[in-house]
Amino acid sequence: MPRRGLMLQARTRWLLLGLALLCILILFMYLLECAPQTDGNASLPGIIGENYGKEYYQALLQEQEEHYQTRASSLKRQIAQLKQELQEMSEKMRSLQEKKNTRANGMSFQGTKEQIPSDLLEFLHSQIDKAEVGIGAKLPSEYGVIPFESFTLMKVFQLEMGLTRHPEEKPVRKDKRDELVEVIEAGLEVINNPDEEDDQEDEDGPVGEKQLFNENDFVEGYYRTERDKGTQYELFFKKADLMEYRHVTLFRPFGPLMKVKSETIDITKSVINIIVPLAGRTEAFAQFMQNFRDVCILQDKRIHLTVVYFGEEGLSKVKIILESVSREANFHNYTLISLSEEFNRGRGLDVGARAWDKGEVLMFFCDVDIYFSAEFLNSCRLNAEPGKKVFYPVVFSLYNPAIVYANQDVPPPVDQQLVHKKDSGFWRDFGFGMTCQYRTDFLTIGGFDLEVKGWGGEDVHLYRKYLRGNLIVIRTPVPGLFHLWHEKHCADELTPEQYRMCIQSKAMNEASHSHLGMLVFREEIETHLHKQAYRTNSEPVG
């Protein structure tokens, strides 16, 4: 390892020396170009030939001066470019040297002290000292514990599952895969190239050579992240023919905060075109328009509504609702598009997006059972940027109010149901239908897959297109976006995959785990209550 480090240092010095000589050569050429040129064969004006006046010599001098200035500017640009290349090469070589030194010294920072500023190195070590690595922290209760998640070469076992993650799964996200691979490789580097202070003995192989561990010797690992300090890794390795385990503890400290950019965003003139595909469900549309009036017309006032209606049944009632809101609130920024065909959500949103003929616009793909706030509309504007970002908020989906509020005579009004509680709803992290994106981005990426028929699937296809493109996808739960409960009907015409997704969604939408459990064990609970009441009534008084 030291010999390879010396070779790398020697190559670095030769590279820097070569670039320096190249800079000196360019400077020498610059001096030659700037020196006055003489030509022994050229005749001097005024001695042979015509007589030249003062203007001629001034023009000649000006021409030569412009020539020298142009040449000097060109050489200066070349020198600046060479300096930049020299600096970039120096940084690359320094980065390689730091990485080499870090690996050679078992990830202990000893090999990078010369490269890392002392104050930063001190800060990183302080992060390790503050974390719960070497000594336990005093916690107020069991809820203050930061649990570990465990992993092997192929699987991750996790506590925080949400609705799309599983108790045991392969790490799907690239950053998580790369993280665990890097950690295991770092652990192997520590074991195979130990520091002098490492508390481990060298085992010899069959012929007296030192045994090297590889990834197949990795048994299991644990990791947890303290959000303000860093991530701790506990790794365990074992050779099949050895009794002892090798234990390596690594810590990836979080560095100090760094400013990436600071900007002012003006959204005062940003109009949102809310596109709603619809077929039937006129009562739900009336409720939607009540929320639309309160939020969009009376508060935001920068909204255009596009309703794409499928079929004839219910169309007249939808027209009446729109005309009523328009008349009462003096609102005329809406478009009603009627399609005489079977309902297709992707088709409706696609038609609504292409119907806009006033240039660029921010679109919000919405459903009739969505409730949103004025704050959400601003989040929509802030997190979508043409050619750069699309916004995919995670909706909070409300459970069946008849189950959530079963202990009340009637469920409370909708605006009182909009709370983020475990038994009132869940973050719909498997849904991608609600999105804010600019029209040009939608058209550039190709829009929806119109071959998808019936329920579900079209939103996932569009979402995956963006994931495979160059735009940044902002995916986050937002407090001002709710999916109101409504009874689902899974049609027999759906494909097996669509039907499975529909039933799964229907089950998840109904109630929380605890409320469903109460329904399942209702008879047992009622029997218990009857027994308790009988015992109470049977006890003698006084």
389-407 confidence digits (pLDDT tens): 999 999 999 999 988 898 8
Q: Which helix (H) or strand (E) holds 479?
A: strand 472-483
Flag whether pLDDT at 134 surpasses 70. no
- Asked if 253 and 279 sit in the same domain, the reply is no
Q: Which residue has the higher pLDDT, 179 or 502?
A: 179
Average pLDDT over residues 30-42: 51
Sign of CA dihedral 456, 461, 467, 470: negative
Q: Which pLDDT belongs to residue 201?
A: 57
- Judge if 479 and 496 occupy the same domain: yes
Q: Let me know if residue 21 belongs to a domain.
A: no
- Same domain (yes/no): 246, 280: no
Q: Is the pLDDT of residue 320 over 90?
A: yes
* Percentage of the chain modeled with pLDDT above 90: 35
Query: What pLDDT score does 85 carry?
Result: 66
Query: Percent of the chain at pLDDT above 70?
Result: 73
Task: Give the highest mean pLDDT range of 49-53, 171-175, 362-366.
Answer: 362-366
Does 234 score more than 70 pLDDT?
Answer: yes
Range of weakest confidence among 61-75, 434-448, 527-541: 61-75
pLDDT of 527? 85
Identify residue 157 by its one-letter amino acid code: F
Confidence of residue 110 (pLDDT cuts 50, 70, 90): very low
Is 34 a domain residue? no
pLDDT of residue 257 exceeding 70, the answer is no
CA distance 60 to 81: 32
**What's the pLDDT at 530?**
83
Same domain, 433 and 310: yes
What is the pLDDT at residue 1?
Answer: 43
Please give the Cα distance from 467 to 484 (Å, whole number): 28
Same domain, 361 and 430: yes
Using the predicted structure, report yes or no on whether residue 375 has a pLDDT greater than 70: yes
Mean pLDDT in residue range 187-198: 82
Top-ranked range on mean pLDDT: pick from 16-20, 190-194, 235-239, 363-367: 363-367
pLDDT: is 323 or 139 the higher one? 323
Identify which of 37-41, 266-270, 298-302, 520-524 has the greatest average pLDDT. 298-302
Angle at which helices 315-329 and 282-292 cross, to 10° = 20
Over the stretch 146-182, which tens digit does the pLDDT of each residue have? 788 888 888 887 767 555 556 666 776 778 888 899 9
The pLDDT of 341-367, averaged and rounded, is 95
276 and 260 co-located in one domain:
no
Q: Are residues 297 and 347 in the same domain?
A: yes
Q: How does residue 500 score in pLDDT terms, banded at 50, 70 and 90?
A: confident
pLDDT (0 to 100) of residue 475: 92
Q: How many domains does the chain have?
A: 2
Residue 412: HSE in the Cβ half-sphere, 13 Å Cα cutoff: 9
Q: What is the largest CA-CA distance in the chain?
A: 145
Supply the pLDDT for residue 226.
85
Pick from 67-76, 170-179, 382-391, 468-477: least confident = 67-76
Mean pLDDT of 118-144: 71
Residue 320 within a domain: yes
Question: Do 388 and 469 fall within a single domain?
Answer: yes
**Residues 129-148, mean pLDDT to the nearest whole number:** 70
SS3 430: coil
Q: Is residue 49 part of a domain?
A: no
Mean pLDDT in residue range 105-133: 61
Q: From residue 440, give the alpha-carbon distance in Å to each of 334, 357, 388, 446.
A: 21, 12, 11, 10
231 and 294 in a single domain? The answer is no
On whether both 342 and 450 belong to a single domain, the answer is yes
* Per-residue model confidence (pLDDT) at position 146: 79
Q: Which pLDDT score is estimated for 59?
A: 66
Instruction: Provide Rg for the chain, Cα atoms.
Output: 35
**Mean pLDDT over residues 269-276, rounded?**
97
Mean of the pLDDT values across residues 57-79? 68
Q: Within 13 A of 129's CA, how many CA atoms are on the CB side?
A: 6
Residue 491 banded pLDDT, cuts 50, 70, 90? confident
Ranges assigned E (strand) in 238-353: 246-253, 272-278, 303-310, 334-339
In a domain? residue 11: no
Q: At 41, is the pLDDT very low, low, confident or very high (cuts 50, 70, 90)?
A: very low
Lowest mean pLDDT segment, chosen from 54-58, 161-165, 272-276, 384-388:
161-165
- 534 or 471, which is more confident: 471
Band (128; pLDDT cuts 50, 70, 90): confident
Measured between alpha carbons, how far is 396 from 190 in angstroms, rounded to an integer? Answer: 45
Based on the domain organization, do 247 and 287 belong to the same domain? no
The answer to whether position 525 is within a domain reads: no
Q: In the predicted model, what is the mean pLDDT of residues 225-231?
A: 85
pLDDT at 486: 85
Residues 481 and 337 in one domain: yes
Domain range spanning residue 419?
A: 272-518
Please give the mean pLDDT across all residues of the chain. Answer: 80
Taking the model in full, what pTM does it have?
Answer: 0.65
The encoded tokens of residue 469 equal 């493109």
* CATH number of the domain residue 401 falls in: 3.90.550.10
Q: Looking at the domain assignment, is residue 38 inside a domain? A: no
User: Looking at the domain assignment, is residue 78 inside a domain?
Assistant: no
